[in-house]
Amino acid sequence: MQKFRKIRVFALFAMVLMLAWVTAGCGGSASAPPAGSENGSTTSPQEQGTPKSGGKLTVGVSADLTKLDLHGSTVLSDRIPLLHVQEMLVTIDEKMNIIPMLAQKWETSEDGKSVTFALRKGVPFHNGKEMKAEDVKYSIERFMQVAARKGEFSMVDSIEAKDDYTVVFHLKQPSGVFLASLANPYNPAVIMPKGIAEEQSGTITKPIGTGPFQFEKWEQGKQLVLKRFYQYASPEGDTSGFGGAKKPYVDEVIFKPISEATVRLTALETGEIDLATDILPKDVKRLETSSNIVLAKETSMNWGYLFFGFKKPPFDNLKMRQAVAYALNKQEIVDVATWSLGKVASSPVYTETEWYTEAHAKDYQQDLEKAKQLLKEAGYNGEKIVISTAKAYDHHQKAALTIQNQLKKIGMNVEVEILEWASFISERSNSGDYQLAVSHITPRPDPNQIYYAYTHSSSNFNGYKNPKMDELLDKGVTTVDQGERKEIYSQVQDLLREDLSFTATYYYPVIEAHQSYLKGYQSWSAGYPRLWNVWIDK
């Protein structure tokens, strides 16, 4: 009987718990007033008022971090929070131009084979030590060993810490892309204190940097907490991109992973979070009418693509590729995939960057008769054609279905194959085993980083090969003069448009939303939320 009594006691405890739960629910209603209800008027982003310090800022992001070591990471959800903690030697501004960050200035020697960086003085790490040349040498050397992007540093011969505030990079040959490699935010070469990895037994579990916020804790799947770094030494100049004057105002920033877009939005509406990233275009209309929530949207440099597979028929035939190019109506793709919030892309080079020229503006115009004619000439007889795309992003599927519809109009027999993200990457995208592939690519600062990987015959996946293209791309890497390089990449785009290895289709919008009491927030077309210069006013 003794054990039965125990079960009864347990049951009783369970009942009490249940009762507590019910009352907890009722208590919640009193303690959680609707957020941002102090006024119903909307203020324009210009009238932000004087910044206030303090408070806690909670950001709802679509995915959790995978690791705390930026050198070893190519994942956006790792970069978004950790680029508040760690900084690079040089970085990118709002329009992806390269600007100083931890380096104050740099000089390239006459033979172009050494680049000397003068570091800013008095920049403290979060552990109290000052950032010096040895730290830069250590960080970049570590990056060149462990990073996915280490190939981009193959031109570096050695790194020399000349004195405490001077670092010299000795290059094997002159390079036009070296600075862009240092500034590329995709797998960023951030500067950490010397010996940090060894102190933390090989893997970085507590990232230390020079950023405006310092790492506090990461509870996987739940939250990442950053604290304001009071000793932060900001670079000078106008705030732009990752650089310029940066000032942390809030005491604590919390990144909460909420994978469901609908739930993320609800959490914003109930006031559980202050800022939500990755809002779906379909929710924009509803949010525009809300008085407590401010929408922050911007066309992004994320570009959607349609790739042709050269490894199997029928798109190894140029006429077939041209037929597709003439069949496309990119505006319609923008309307469907981005709810008209994006922009038509004629080139992967973004319109507002300094690399954009007339060559990037030219594009095929829809001409169904010509497309049908080309199909006939190519000898197409209604064979089945498959567009491969992935499930992870809603806009990929929508773009693929729109393209399917457009190709059907010229008499192509098209099916859409929707795969899991990981399968799409490994079995289609990276193996080149597809006829048509639809997906998107994140922004890169230099056109070399855009074109080389996807069009050079030594690195592309789809099997495209044109010696003239390879020659141009190689020239783009070794040419130092940026004006000449601009011309080279115009030629690359012209050739790409002729050869049709792929075509850029649309720029996806960055859509974020925040509480009206969050001031100073600006979206960025590169897609990174930035929480410096942002304050809470309530």
Q: In the bound complex, what is the minimum distance in angstroms from residue 499's beta carbon to another protein? A: 33
Q: How many CB atoms lie within 10 A of CB 129?
A: 12
Q: Closer to another protein at the Cβ: 13 or 408?
A: 13
16 binds another protein, rule: CB under 8 A = no
- Angstrom distance (rounded) from CA 166 to CA 137: 10
431 binds another protein (CB under 8 A): no
Residue 253 CA to residue 530 CA, distance in Å, equals 11
User: Does residue 266 belong to the site contacting another protein (CB under 8 A)?
Assistant: yes
Binding mask 196-225 for another protein (x = CB under 8 A): -------x---------------xxxx---
**Could you give the string, one character per residue 55-94, with x where binding to another protein holds by CB under 8 A and - elsewhere?**
-----x---x-xx---------------------------
| Amino acid of residue 494 | D
The span from the CA of 263 to the CA of 268, in Å, is: 9
Q: Is the peptide bond before 314 cis (omega within 30 degrees of 0)?
A: yes
Binding span for another protein by CB under 8 A among 10-18, 125-133, 280-288, 480-488: 10-18
Is there binding between residue 430 and another protein (CB under 8 A)?
A: no
Q: How far apart are CA 385 and CA 315, in angstroms?
A: 10
Residue 259 sits in the site that holds another protein (CB under 8 A): yes
Spell out the residues 6+ positions from residue 514 whose beta carbon is closer than 8 angstroms to its own.
268, 274, 275, 276, 293, 294, 296, 521
Which residue stretch of 138-146, 228-236, 267-275, 526-534 sits at the interface with another protein (rule: CB under 8 A)?
267-275
- Using the rule CB under 8 A, which residue among 17, 146, 361, 480 binds another protein? 17
Q: Which amino acid is located at 166 in the chain?
A: T
What is the DSSP code (8-state) at residue 34?
Answer: P
Among 59, 155, 261, 267, binds another protein (CB under 8 A): 267
> Cα-atom radius of gyration of the chain, to the nearest Å?
26
Contacts of 226 (CB under 8 A, 6+ apart): 81, 84, 85, 213, 214, 215, 216, 252, 253, 254, 255
Looking only at the bridges linking them, the beta strands covering 103-108 and 114-119 are antiparallel
Q: Does 29 sit near another protein (CB under 8 A)?
A: yes
CB of 62 to another protein, least distance (A): 11
By C-beta, is 34 or 40 nearer to another protein?
A: 34
- Is 163 a binding residue for another protein by CB under 8 A? The answer is no
Question: Cα–Cα distances in Å, from 39 out to 29, 59, 352, 421?
Answer: 20, 22, 37, 43
Instruction: Tell me the window of 30-38, 107-115, 245-253, 520-528 that interacts with another protein (CB under 8 A).
Output: 30-38
Phi-psi region of 415 (alpha: psi -120 to 50; beta: other; left: phi over 0): beta
Site membership for another protein, residue 230 (CB under 8 A): no
Least CB distance from residue 114 to another protein, whole Å?
36
Show the DSSP H helices in 500-537 as ranges. Answer: none
| Among 24-32, 324-332, 395-403, 451-459, the segment contacting another protein (CB under 8 A) | 24-32
Binding status of residue 262 toward another protein by CB under 8 A: yes
Least distance between another protein and beta carbon 32 (Å): 6
If binding means CB under 8 A, how many residues of this protein chain bind another protein?
42
Q: In whole angstroms, how close is the CB of 205 to another protein at the nearest point?
A: 9
**CA-CA distance, 182 to 193, in Å (whole number)?**
17
Based on the shown chain and the rule CB under 8 A, indicate whether residue 32 belongs to the binding site for another protein: yes
Residue written as tokens 């004619």?
373
Q: Which residues of 375-386 are buried (b: 16+ CB within 10 A; e: fewer)?
A: beebebeeeebb
The site for another protein (CB under 8 A) is made up of 4, 7, 14, 17-18, 20-21, 24-29, 32-34, 60, 64, 66-67, 203, 219-222, 256-260, 262-264, 266-267, 269-270, 272, 392, 420-422
